Amino acid sequence: MGNLDLIIHVDEKDSGCTIGNLLRRKKGFSRALVRKLKRSGGIRCNGTPVFMGEKVTAGDVLVVTMPGEEPTLLEPEEIPLDIVFEDQDILAVNKPAGMLVHPVKWEQSGTLANAVLYYWREAGITGRFRPVYRLDRDTSGIVLVALSQYAAQQLAAQLEKKLLRRRYLAVVVGTPPNAGRIDLPLGLKPGHSAEWMVTPGGRPAITHYRLLGKLGNGRTGSSVPAFSLLCLELETGRTHQIRVHMSHIGHPLLGDARYGGDEKLFHRQALHAAAIDFYHPRTGVPVKLRTPVPADMRELVRLLRSRESEFRNQ
């Protein structure tokens, strides 16, 4: 996958560290990756192969060559990709609604993984498909894919430390307050394998939301129901988190029939992963990625606004 060598310049504060400690404590390498590097002999200091227990001094230059990996065993498929960002460490794709990120037992084709593997094969790349997080099938927007074990670890650590920020746009039923924080634990609904609920024994889950605009009148006796456009940010990333949280507070996503949303006007959950901010795993430079609202959601917002305008003019 291109040049995956990582170059580390040793400064005064790291002088005297062993190479193993430097990689683990300063650069965030997992123990498993350090063990792989130890077996592969993939570390040079000032051009000379070295061992993990050797110490470094200020001015040394370490070159870490990432060990090779087995590719993902999945059939590549020629499926168009909307690439938002790409370099030797990261691939960011704008996933359309209706596409799974990764195959499941009963569906092994037509997924984002199949499409990415085909794209890589055509570019002469062999590697593992590593989405940093997943989106539901019917949620559109940015999916971040790491091109190496190291990049995946760094981005996962940013998720854990809340340095990787994800923001979504959604159309919900009703009009919530202008802003809010939902801190409610989530767990599987009893007797279900893919439906979630708020439950005291669940895993912690926190969602922040901000009202961007009202899309319907919602007056008592009005034939025009109230809808709202929200910006939501995940502090945690549980399965179906936004969908369950918004449904629980009485504002399900439009089109989300599973969690109480009306699907007459829209036939999927009206949710789009529109923005992601993170620090590049190799350079530490801030990266900000954005995607436009897809055509079906734009048309939905236009329709709801036009219905509101028609009601006012009656």
Instruction: State the catalytic residue, choosing from 89, 136, 138, 256.
Output: 136
SS3 content of the chain, % helix, strand, coil (to 5): 25, 30, 50
Per-residue pLDDT tens digits for 169-200: 999 999 999 999 999 999 999 988 889 999 99
**Is 116 a residue whose pLDDT tops 90?**
yes
Q: What is the pLDDT of residues 268-295, one digit of tens each?
A: 999 999 999 999 998 899 999 999 999 9
pLDDT for the residue 217: 58
Mean pLDDT over the full length of the chain: 90
Digit-coded pLDDT (tens) for 193-247: 889 999 999 999 999 999 999 997 544 445 556 899 999 999 998 999 999 999 9
pLDDT average, residue stretch 236-259: 96
Which domains does the chain show, CATH number per domain? Answer: 6-64 (3.10.290.10), 83-312 (3.30.2350.10)
Q: What is the pLDDT of residue 176?
A: 94
- Determine the average pLDDT of the residues in 82-107: 94
For 284, residues 6+ apart whose C-beta sits below 8 A from its C-beta are: none
Please report which residue ranges of 91-168 form alpha helices under DSSP H: 112-122, 149-160
pTM for the structure as a whole: 0.86
Instruction: Residue 162: name the closest of 196, 200, 204 by CA.
Output: 204
- Among 67, 58, 19, 62, smallest CA distance to 44 is for 62
Reported as a single tens digit per residue, the pLDDT across 23-81 is 888 788 888 888 888 888 889 999 888 888 899 999 999 998 877 777 788 899 999 99
**Are the C-beta atoms of 28 and 153 separated by less than 8 Å?**
yes
Q: How is residue 121 written in tokens? A: 């094969």
136 is catalytic: yes
